[in-house]
Amino acid sequence: MTGTAGEDQFALGPLPATRRDMPLIPGDSVAGRALVVVIAIMTFLACLTAGGALLVAHASQFWRSDVLRDVTIQVKPGAGDDLDLLVAKVVSVASRAPGVEDVRPYSKAESEKLLEPWLGGGLDLSLLPIPRLVIVHMRGQGAEDLAALKAALAPEVPQANLDDHRLWAARIGTMANAIVVLAAALFALMMLAMGTAIGFATRGAMAGNREIIEVLHFVGASDGFIAREFQSHFRRLGFRGAIIGGSAAVAFFFAASALSVWWARSPGGEEIAAMFGAFSLGPTGYGALALVGAAVTLLTGFLSREIVVRQLQTLQ
Amino acid sequence: MLRFENVGLRYGMGPEIVRDLNFSVAPQSFQFLTGPSGAGKTTLLRLMLLSLRPTRGTVHIFGQNAAQLSKRDVTTLRRRIGVVFQDFRLLDHLTTYENVALPLRAMGRSEDAYRSEVVELLRWVGLGDRMNAQPPVLSGGEKQRAAIARALIVRPELLLADEPTGNVDPGLARRLLRLFVELHRLGTAVVIATHDLQLMDQFGFARRLVVGDGKVAIFDGSPG
């Protein structure tokens, strides 16, 4: 029992192999496994919510940047008007307008084809005064360029009506924002539920390991040391749950991305693709899922430490 | 080192378990705490260990009034006290080595710094070949020695042992007692709670604190 560590080692010969730094709180218990399952499910749901919100936010950004750059000019023929001449005039005016990148008039056949879903095919529509469309693709979303285009068209072709889709885009944008806000609220609720579960589990673990806490106090362990032991115990459980739940979410998004190719070909596939894009999260999205997992791990450790510190303060 | 002045303790509104305790434990002294079962030996040890607060009177430990100690102070003082529990209180999921190293780990020392020290002590108490065994597979005597080694590893100034020979045969009991005597010679004050009169007679030099009827009577040992 005396002498320096170096002398003792020399006197003792080679030291036997011993386990090193084993956790002081036993890791493998029914309550611990149950908590891992709860954390895994919560992490999975939180990742789905976060990933879904990201997909919708990304798709919404895409609509806004793409749709708002397209302007539709509808040319309604009046009595005795030559529609082809009017369309040509519109194309000419639009091509000269500032900020216009491309102008594409729909042919008569293309315009008639647009009515097929409502009127059916095989009808002779030549007697009907069907309006013609001209699609103008702008360089940017500047309102000044649109105003200039409108001003240029009004005197030249009064039969032309310009629709910049802003009302529709605003509604879709509002819906997308509402989905993102709802997802954020769901995410917060899941974190709250998980925090509550961690709180119960921590108190349960403290009650189940009361004797260990008592022994640690008697051998001179500070409350901080005991709290750190519980924190690392729960951080390990949180990490296991986060890895399981996070991996399941990543697998889900990979599978959804692969399935979206099939969906795109199915009826209604375009609408789903319009809402969620190609169901591909991309590196940023998967990075966000990894962040959710890391946050769950840290939250589990932090909450358990706070609860243990408070509980220990109430103990004599 | 340890001084009790008019100490009394009651649980709730019940009668006093111990009362009017006036005694002190000197540095480098050796004493038995004895008395019939249920007389309050363990309660007295818990008062000494500061795990119970007296309802009246004052306990001075290492020159400080225990009533004025903060929780952090108590933690610091406990690092100067070694304690052997009657039921060992070894952690079943840790090995013998890890159990004995626990106080050093709790003090924040790195394993590299204390490893040889723990191995040496385990060999000294005869557990050199049981270092990686866990308490559930140790015999009563081995558990007892592991518990004692855990109390000794910090080289305490005060050692409190509750019935440390209660679970072992008389031969091993004598050997364990000799371990405490050796520690006492190295400078530790030792308080051993026991009701084994024969064992106490073999160490006649030790002072006896006899608990009975809630009070403590003191009998000095014969010069040894």
Quick: pLDDT tens for A247-306: 999 999 988 888 877 777 776 666 666 666 667 788 888 999 999 999 999 988 898 889
What value does the mean pLDDT take over residues B148-172?
Answer: 87
DSSP code string of B106-166: HTT--HHHHHHHHHHHHHHTT-GGGTT--GGGS-HHHHHHHHHHHHHTT--SEEEEESTTT
Q: Is the pLDDT of residue A101 over 60?
A: yes
List alpha helices for A135-165, DSSP H.
Answer: 143-156
- Chain B neighbors of A19, CB-CB under 8 A: 95, 97-98, 132
Q: Which of A2, A18, A313 is the mutation pick for testing B, counting most B CBs within 10 A?
A: A18
pLDDT the model gives residue B122: 92
Distance CA B134, CA B130 (A): 8
- Chain B neighbors of A26, CB-CB under 8 A: 93
The whole-angstrom distance between A23's CA and the closest CA on chain B is 9
Q: Is the pLDDT of residue A137 over 90?
A: no
More confident call, B37 vs A164 = B37
The whole-angstrom distance between A172's CA and the closest CA on chain B is 59
What value does the mean pLDDT take over residues A107-136?
Answer: 78
- The strand pairing partners of B191, in sequence order, are B31, B160
In 10 A of CB B2, how many CB atoms?
A: 23
Nearest to B61 by CA among B91, B81, B41: B81
Residue in this structure with the two tokens 């309102």, named with its chain if needed: A143
Our measurement of the distance from residue A275's CA atom to the centroid of its chain's CA atoms, rounded to an integer in Å, reads 12
Q: What is the DSSP letter of B223?
A: P
Q: What is the DSSP letter of B45?
A: H
What value does the mean pLDDT take over residues A109-117?
Answer: 79
Distance CA A176, CA A263 (A): 21
Q: Which band of pLDDT confidence, cut at 50, 70 and 90, is reported for residue A2?
A: very low
CB-count exposure of residue A182 (10 Å: 0-12, 13-18, 19+):
middle
Q: Which of B9, B109, B116 is the mutation pick for testing A, counting most A CBs within 10 A?
A: B116
Residue pLDDT, tens place only, B51-65: 889 999 999 999 999
Inter-chain residue contact B93 with A20, CB threshold 8 Å: no
Instruction: Tell me how far CA of residue A293 lies from CA of A32, A161, B156, in angstroms.
Output: 18, 52, 45
Nearest to A146 by CA among A94, A105, A90, A103: A94
Window from A133-137, A138-142, A286-290 with minimum mean pLDDT? A138-142
Pairing of strands B30-34, A132-138: unpaired
What value does the mean pLDDT take over residues B197-221?
Answer: 86
- Chain A neighbors of B117, CB-CB under 8 A: 1, 5, 8
The CA-based angle B96-B100-B106, given to 5 degrees, is: 130
Residue pLDDT, tens place only, B26-53: 999 999 999 888 888 889 999 999 988 9
Task: Tally A–B CB contacts below 8 A.
Answer: 92
* Interface membership of B150 toward A (CB under 8 Å): yes
DSSP code string of A95-113: HHSTTEEEEEEPPHHHHHH
Nearest to A245 by CA among A32, A52, A43: A43
DSSP code string of A185-244: HHHHHHHHHHHHHHHHHHHHHHHHTHHHHHHHHHTT--HHHHHHHHHHHHHHHHHHHHHH
Q: Is the pLDDT of residue A14 over 70?
A: no
Q: Supply φ then ψ for residue A293, to 5 degrees.
A: -60, -45
Which of B95, B111, B155 is closest, CB to CB, to A1? Answer: B155
Pairing of strands B81-84, B215-219: unpaired
Inter-chain residue contact A8 with B132, CB threshold 8 Å: no
Q: Which band of pLDDT confidence, cut at 50, 70 and 90, is reported for residue A225?
A: very high
pLDDT the model gives residue A53: 86
B161 and B144 in contact (C-beta within 8 Å)? Answer: no
What value does the mean pLDDT take over residues A190-212?
Answer: 87
Q: Is the pLDDT of residue A9 over 50?
A: no
Nearest to B222 by CA among B202, B199, B198: B202
Instruction: Tell me how far CA of residue B104 lies from CA of A32, A217, B108, B122, in angstroms.
Output: 27, 13, 7, 14
Pairing of strands B81-84, B158-162: parallel
**Taking all residues of chain B, what is their mean pLDDT, rounded to a whole number?**
89
* Interface membership of A218 toward B (CB under 8 Å): yes
Distance CA A47, CA B150 (A): 47
What value does the mean pLDDT take over residues A97-116?
Answer: 82
Distance CA A120, CA B68 (A): 94
Q: Is the pLDDT of residue A39 over 60?
A: yes
Radius of gyration of chain A (CA): 33
pLDDT the model gives residue A280: 76
Share of chain B above pLDDT 90, in %: 50
Contacts of A154 (CB under 8 A, 6+ apart): none
Burial string for B47-60 (b: 16+ CB within 10 Å, else e) reads bbbbebebeebebe
Nearest to A176 by CA among A312, A16, A58: A58
With residues binned 3-state (H G I as helix, E B as strand, rest as coil), the percentages for chain B, rounded to 5, are 40, 25, 35
The whole-angstrom distance between B155's CA and the closest CA on chain A is 9
Q: Which band of pLDDT confidence, cut at 50, 70 and 90, is reported for residue B3?
A: very high
> Of all helices (H) and strands (E), which one includes residue B216?
strand B215-219
Q: Is the pLDDT of residue A6 over 50?
A: no
Distance CA A217, CA B106 (A): 9
Distance CA B58, CA B3 (A): 8
Q: Is the pLDDT of residue A11 over 60?
A: no
The CA-based angle A292-A294-A299, given to 5 degrees, is: 90
Contacts of B3 (CB under 8 A, 6+ apart): B23, B24, B25, B59, B60, B61
The CA-based angle B202-B206-B207, given to 5 degrees, is: 135
